[in-house]
């Protein structure tokens, strides 16, 4: 989540450096030594140089922005060295003198960045992140730097963290720094410090912190004093509890989001099935069309109104709905309508349509997955319990499905169209007699049912892969929901979707995707033994 946005950072750092660093400070011995060592080939001196530089920076002996600029450049292969030459930085806007950061002429001789192996890379990454804390406290740059550090808090430089804590005014920020400090203190030889650190770490349960404590436990072995040992045991038990809870929450959460997609896809299927006795095998492809329509909106915005790009998902809602509804209406009017009272033929016809749609989209867009930009408001999430993160993109899908559910309830129960739909579902001939045109109701509801699938496609595009054959992944689950939920009952569809979504997500990590599908199928077979019309079917006349 915490992406380290490099380009703006470099810019910022360079700016700061140019503003604050005078020519006089350019050639300190520390800088010369650092650059020399960073240009070496072997690993040891370079790691050592980073450490020394960080410590000096924390002590205020070196300018943090320079430190950041150099380390950031070094890790992105922007630091160029040459034999007997002054090291240079190659930044996006040109060459600079490494020591002073002043603009420089492009080198005449051959210069190249020293090879960065994994170990050096880790050291440089950490160094850049740490120095970002000091270079621009409170900025977005520092924020993402902190995120980097939190991934390996035990590698952090204690002095830098202390300095950053002193500099920072923002409370949550200080809090996070405190946790990092605690990870460092775990290694402390002073028992009190260590216990304080253990307690502190237990407050913030996560898989990573658990590992840190377990490592410590293993490291101390029998040597630890009883107090520390108890503190460790308690802390680990506490973390375990939270992690278990977080795992449950995570599963429920992703089950909910999968169920939301399934719900939107099967709602249309169920309404159409109730109305016309027709199962639309192309429903999965309507989902796909919804996702492609969303993609088209994104690309159109990118081309004509980049400022609105962040809002493409919302802008696409009516468009995805209307496009899929339009395709659905066309399908109904050209094919389904002629197959009235021949539902089995409709299965084949809609299969042919799905084949046609998949191949058309493949021919136009290719087979690869589409790239969706994550709008700022959907990026990231909120860490709630242990490693359970409420990601905004899934929350979007859930809330969206909830809205669709409410809207569908309102349409079915409160509008004239809804009344017609219910009338035709209950008794087609009778509805015809009282002046409702079943044909027109069929057309409109098929359109709405398809449009709903389109919305499902929109909602899943930030979460799942979007490609021409994506629909096939959802269609079997959607059938099962219709069979389970029965027709003509929104709540039945909702509950069945929740059930199937949950079973999939709960069983899959434990026993694999196959087991999940097998269980759903067995469930269905059990259900049709007891209630052939589905769990929640409204008993109607046939």
Ligand X SMILES: Nc1ncnc2c1ncn2[C@@H]1O[C@H](COP(=O)(O)OP(=O)(O)O)[C@@H](O)[C@H]1O
Binding residues for other proteins (CB under 8 A): 273, 277-279, 281, 335, 338-339, 342-345, 347-349, 351-353, 355-356, 358-360, 363, 437, 472, 476, 479-480, 482-483, 512-514, 517-518, 521, 524-525, 528-529, 532, 539
Shortest distance (Å) from residue 421 CB to ligand X: 19
For other proteins, the closer of residues 416 and 529 by Cβ is: 529
Phi, psi of 353 (to 5 degrees): -65, -40
26 binds, among other proteins, ligand X, none (CB under 5 to 8 A by kind): none
The binder of 437, among ligand X, other proteins, none, by C-beta within 5 to 8 A per type, is other proteins
Q: Does 83 participate in binding ligand X (rule CB under 6 A)?
A: no
When CB distances are held under 5 to 8 angstroms depending on the partner's kind, the choice from ligand X, other proteins, none that residue 335 binds is other proteins
Cβ partners under 8 Å of residue 126, min gap 6: 50, 148, 149, 152, 155, 156, 157
Residue 70: both structure tokens together = 């150099």
* Closer residue to other proteins (CB): 305 or 344: 344
User: Which of residues 94 and 532 has its CB atom nearest to other proteins in the complex?
Assistant: 532
- 277 or 326, CB closer to ligand X? 277
Q: What are the residue ranges of helices labelled H in 59-95?
A: 64-75
Please tell me the distance from the alpha carbon of residue 527 to that of residue 480, in angstroms, as a whole number.
Answer: 11
Who contacts 178 (Cβ-Cβ below 8 Å, separation ≥6)? 165, 200
Minimum CB separation of residue 495 from ligand X in Å reads: 22
Could you give the CA distance from residue 453 to residue 373 in angstroms, rounded to a whole number?
Answer: 21
Q: Of 83 and 541, which has the nearer Cβ to ligand X?
A: 541
H or E, element range at 11: helix 6-20
- Tell me which of other proteins, ligand X, none is bound by residue 349, counting a contact when its beta carbon lies within the kind-specific cut-off of 5 to 8 angstroms: other proteins
CB of 473 to ligand X, least distance (A): 37
Residue with Cβ nearer other proteins (256 or 481):
481
Q: Quick check: 541 binds ligand X (CB under 6 A)?
A: yes
- Please tell me the distance from the alpha carbon of residue 227 to that of residue 230, in angstroms, as a whole number: 5
What does 446 interact with, of other proteins, ligand X, none (CB < 5 to 8 A by kind)?
A: none
Distance CA 389, CA 122 (A): 26
Q: Which does 345 bind (CB under 5 to 8 A by kind): other proteins, ligand X, none?
A: other proteins
Nearer to other proteins, 351 or 377 (CB): 351
Q: Which two tokens stand for residue 8?
A: 């703006």
Residue 479 Cβ, how far from other proteins at the closest point, in Å?
Answer: 5
- To other proteins, the closest distance from the beta carbon of 206 in angstroms equals 33
What phi and psi values does residue 194 have, to the nearest 5 degrees? -65, -45
In the bound complex, what is the minimum distance in angstroms from residue 298's beta carbon to other proteins? 27
Residue 424 Cβ vs ligand X, minimum distance, rounded to whole Å: 16
Query: Which of other proteins, ligand X, none sits in contact with 479, Cβ below 5 to 8 A by type?
Result: other proteins
Question: What does the buried/exposed string (b/e) look like for 9-34 if buried means 16 or more CB atoms within 10 Å of the residue's CB?
Answer: bbebbbebbbeebeeeebebebbeeb
Nearer to ligand X, 256 or 275 (CB): 275
All residues at 6 or more sequence positions from 448 whose CB lies less than 8 Å from its CB, including other chains: 268, 271, 325, 411
d(CA 206, CA 180): 13
For position 429 contacting ligand X by CB under 6 A, the verdict is no
Task: Find the shortest distance in angstroms from Cβ 433 to ligand X.
Answer: 15
- Cα 275 to Cα 196: distance, rounded to the nearest angstrom: 66
Nearer to other proteins, 41 or 542 (CB): 542
3 contact choice in ligand X, other proteins, none (CB below 5 to 8 Å, kind-dependent)? none
Beta strands at 381-385 and 388-391: parallel, antiparallel or unpaired: antiparallel
Q: How many residues make contact with ligand X (CB under 6 A)?
A: 2
Q: Shortest approach of ligand X to residue 542 CB, angstroms?
A: 7
The residue (of 339 and 538) whose beta carbon lies closer to ligand X is 538
Instruction: For the sheet with 79-80, list strands across it.
Output: 79-80, 88-91, 94-97
Among candidates 130, 99, 129, 135, which has minimal Cα distance to 16? 135
539 binds ligand X (CB under 6 A): yes
**Binding-site partner at residue 140 among ligand X, other proteins, none, CB < 5 to 8 Å by type:** none
**Residue 347 touches which member of ligand X, other proteins, none, C-beta under 5-8 Å by kind:** other proteins
Give the residues across from 389 on adjacent strands.
Answer: 383
- Exposure on the CB side of residue 213, measured as CA atoms within 13 A: 30
Nearest to other proteins of 110, 542 (CB atom): 542
H/E stretch holding 88 reads strand 88-91
Strand partners, 385: 388
CA-CA-CA-CA dihedral for 217, 219, 223, 226, to nearest 10: -20
Q: Which does residue 342 touch among other proteins, ligand X, none (CB within 5 to 8 A, set by kind)?
A: other proteins
Q: Residue 476 binds which entry of ligand X, other proteins, none, with Cβ cut-offs from 5 to 8 Å by kind?
A: other proteins
Nearer to other proteins, 30 or 345 (CB): 345
Q: How far is the CB of 408 from other proteins (least distance, A)?
A: 22
Token pair for 22: 């005078």
Q: What is the closest distance, in whole angstroms, from the C-beta atom of residue 223 to other proteins in the complex?
A: 42
From the list ligand X, other proteins, none, partner contacted by residue 227 (C-beta under 5 to 8 A by kind)? none
Helix (H) or strand (E) holding 151: helix 140-151
List the end-to-end C-alpha distance of the chain, in Å, as a whole number.
55
Task: Identify which of residues 341 and 541 has a Cβ nearer to ligand X in the complex.
Answer: 541
Q: Is there a contact between 264 and 459 (Cβ–Cβ < 8 Å)?
A: yes
SS (H, E, C) 422-443: HHHHHCHHHHHHCCCCHHHHHH
Site of interaction with ligand X (CB under 6 A): 539, 541
């Amino acid at each position: 989540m915490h992406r380290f946005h490099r380009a703006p950072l470099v810019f910022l750092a360079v700016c700061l450096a140019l503003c604050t660093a005078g020519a006089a400070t350019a050639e300190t011995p520390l800088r010369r030594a650092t650059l020399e060592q960073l240009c070496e080939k072997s690993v040891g001196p370079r790691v050592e140089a980073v450490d020394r530089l960080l410590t000096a920076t924390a002590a205020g002996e070196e300018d943090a922005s320079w430190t950041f600029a150099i380390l950031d450049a070094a890790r992105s292969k922007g630091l160029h060295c040459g034999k007997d030459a002054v090291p240079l930085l190659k930044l996006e806007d040109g060459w600079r003198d490494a020591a002073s950061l002043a603009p420089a002429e492009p080198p005449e001789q051959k210069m190249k960045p020293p090879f960065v192996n994994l170990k050096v890379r880790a050291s440089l990454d950490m160094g850049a992140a740490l120095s970002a804390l000091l270079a621009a406290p409170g900025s977005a740059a520092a924020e993402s730097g902190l995120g980097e550090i939190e991934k390996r808090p035990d590698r952090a430089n204690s002095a830098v963290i202390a300095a950053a804590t002193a500099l920072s005014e923002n409370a949550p920020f200080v809090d996070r720094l405190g946790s990092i400090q605690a990870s460092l203190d775990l290694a402390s030889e002073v028992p009190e410090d260590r216990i304080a650190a253990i307690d502190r770490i237990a407050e913030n349960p996560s898989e990573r912190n658990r590992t840190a404590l377990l490592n410590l436990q293993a490291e101390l072995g029998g040597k630890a004093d009883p107090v520390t040992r108890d503190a460790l045991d308690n802390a680990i038990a506490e973390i375990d509890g939270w992690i278990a809870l977080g795992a449950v929450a995570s599963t429920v959460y992703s089950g909910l989001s999968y169920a939301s997609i399934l719900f939107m896809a099967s709602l249309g299927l169920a309404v159409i099935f109730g109305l016309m006795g027709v199962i639309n095998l192309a429903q999965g492809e309507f989902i796909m069309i919804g996702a492609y329509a969303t993609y088209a909106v994104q690309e159109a915005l990118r081309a004509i109104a980049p400022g609105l790009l962040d809002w493409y998902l919302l802008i696409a809602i009516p468009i995805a709905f209307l496009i899929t509804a339009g395709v659905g209406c066309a399908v109904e009017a050209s094919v389904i309508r002629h197959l009235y009272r021949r539902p089995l033929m409709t299965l084949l016809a809609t299969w042919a349509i799905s084949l046609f749609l998949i191949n058309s989209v493949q021919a136009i867009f290719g087979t690869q997955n589409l790239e969706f930009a994550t709008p700022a408001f959907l990026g990231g999430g909120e860490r709630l319990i242990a490693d359970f993160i409420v990601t905004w993109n899934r929350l979007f899908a859930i809330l969206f499905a909830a809205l669709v559910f409410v809207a569908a309830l309102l349409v079915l129960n409160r509008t004239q169209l809804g009344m017609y739909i219910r009338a035709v579902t209950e008794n087609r001939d009778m509805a015809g007699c009282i002046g409702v045109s079943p044909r027109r109701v069929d057309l409109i509801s098929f359109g709405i049912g398809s449009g709903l699938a389109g919305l499902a496609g929109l909602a899943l595009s930030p979460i799942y892969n979007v490609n021409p054959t994506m629909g096939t992944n959802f269609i079997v689950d959607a059938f099962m929901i219709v069979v389970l939920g029965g027709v003509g009952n929104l709540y039945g569809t909702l509950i069945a979707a929740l059930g199937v979504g949950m079973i999939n997500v709960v069983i899959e990590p434990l026993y694999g995707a196959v087991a999940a599908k097998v269980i759903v199928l067995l469930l269905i077979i059990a259900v049709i033994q007891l209630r052939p019309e589905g769990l929640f079917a409204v008993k109607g006349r046939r």
